[in-house]
Amino acid sequence: MSAPLTPPAAREAPTLRDSRPGRDWEALAAALRRLLSPRAVVRTGEPMARRTTLRVGGPADLYAEPADEADLLALVRFCADHALPWRVLGRGSNLLVRDGGVRGVVICLAQSDFVTVRVQGAEIHAGAGARVKAVAAAALQHGLAGLEFLEGIPGSVGGALRMNAGAFGGSTFAVLERVRVMDPQGAVRERPAAELPVSYRNCPLLATHLALSAVFRGRPDAPAAIRARLAEFSRRRWQTQPREPSAGCIFKNPAALPAGRLVEELGLKGTRVGGARISEVHGNFIVNDGTATARDILELIHRVRAEARARRGIELEPEVEIVGED
């Protein structure tokens, strides 16, 4: 186990009164800016519609991009000291933020220390903020196969780990060697993938721990063969998935049949609420025509679940993570 990181003395947290019912977010943001390094980003009232692929969602009370792991540790401890709930935001796919926004702190690992991707032998080392597509591209560049399915996943490495994301028959943990995580107290540890319990679209540990980086393993293959598979996956993705803003698949696939086929059989493709619509291209996608609200999308989700329950006896479970307040 790695020793917990200790922020420099100059970054020691100032003490602020815990004012839970009516927080002074500007004062908290100012205190946090003094605590973090100059490259860190701290903003109040950041609209989550700018940060999610569905392009909906109200503001976060406080939004922070730490510059490095020392910043991240200081940020996590700041949240603990002031009883601030926090959550990590990747590239905002597979996420639906309600119109009232997110209470507490939204942490985004978007700065350079968290987005690097490098290859060492058959291993691809990637920061949690790196795009999953960048991992697939690095594997191609170094003639490593087995990660082509990542081309179809629009999120970050951290998000893919949290959701055990998958596409075209592949899944994140199937190609994962190990992951570095930070616990809520700031201790950092590298964990073998085999140690972490995972299930369909879920890694429970990462609901409470922050993924910092991951190591994936590929297998040697001819770049031309890898490139051909990437091209095929890309072609299939654009033929079977809508191009409008979406969060990816809305529902987990039930045992009986794929969720998209179920929605199609129920005759719900094209159903609209406000600016949200069930895609005609794929029944398991809800798209935003540019005017949708989170409430529109939630109403569509409710309608589909009610129809599936009433007409087929199937209880659809959302795959998209729904957060925030109405």
Q: Tens of pLDDT along 123-179?
A: 999 999 999 999 999 999 999 999 999 987 888 999 999 989 888 888 899 999 999
- The answer to whether 16 and 28 have CB atoms below 8 angstroms apart is yes
Model's pTM, two decimal places? 0.86
Distance between CA 287 and CA 244 in Å, rounded?
6
pLDDT at 208 over 50: yes
The whole-number pLDDT of residue 16 equals 33
Mean pLDDT of the chain: 90
Give the mean model confidence (pLDDT) for residues 194-216. Answer: 91
Which tens digit of pLDDT belongs to each residue from 90-123? Answer: 989 889 999 999 999 999 999 999 999 999 999 9
Give the mean model confidence (pLDDT) for residues 202-208. Answer: 89
Range with lowest mean pLDDT among 143-147, 176-180, 203-207, 311-315: 203-207
pLDDT at 9 over 60: no
Distance between CA 66 and CA 75 in Å, rounded?
8
The whole-number pLDDT of residue 278 equals 98
Q: With cut-offs at 50, 70 and 90, classify the pLDDT of residue 200.
A: confident
Q: With cut-offs at 50, 70 and 90, classify the pLDDT of residue 15.
A: very low
Work out the percent of the chain whose per-residue pLDDT is above 70: 93
pLDDT at 12 over 60: no
User: Tokens 């009883």 belong to which residue?
Assistant: 83
The DSSP output letter for 284 is: T
Residue among 245, 250, 323, 318 nearest 283 (CA): 250
The whole-number pLDDT of residue 326 equals 87
Rounded to 5 degrees, what are φ and ψ at 57? 125, 140
Domains within the chain, CATH numbers bracketed: 9-112 (3.30.43.10), 115-238 (3.30.465.10), 243-323 (3.90.78.10)
Distance between CA 148 and CA 218 in Å, rounded?
10
Q: Which residue has the higher pLDDT, 193 or 8?
A: 193
One DSSP character per residue, 191-254 reads EEGGGS--BTTB-GGGGTSEEEEEEEE-EE--HHHHHHHHHHHHHHHHHHS-SSSB-S-SBPPP
Which ranges of the chain would DSSP assign to H, the alpha helix?
A: 25-35, 69-81, 132-141, 157-163, 223-240, 259-265, 294-312
pLDDT at 21 over 60: no
Work out the percent of the chain whose per-residue pLDDT is above 90: 79
Which tens digit of pLDDT belongs to each residue from 63-97? Answer: 999 999 999 999 999 999 999 999 999 989 889 99
Sheet with 41-47: strands ordered across: 41-47, 59-65, 102-108, 86-89
Give the mean model confidence (pLDDT) for residues 292-321. Answer: 97
- The answer to whether 106 and 86 have CB atoms below 8 angstroms apart is yes
Q: Is 106 exposed, middle or buried (CB count within 10 Å of its CB: 0-12, 13-18, 19+)?
A: buried
Q: With cut-offs at 50, 70 and 90, classify the pLDDT of residue 311.
A: very high
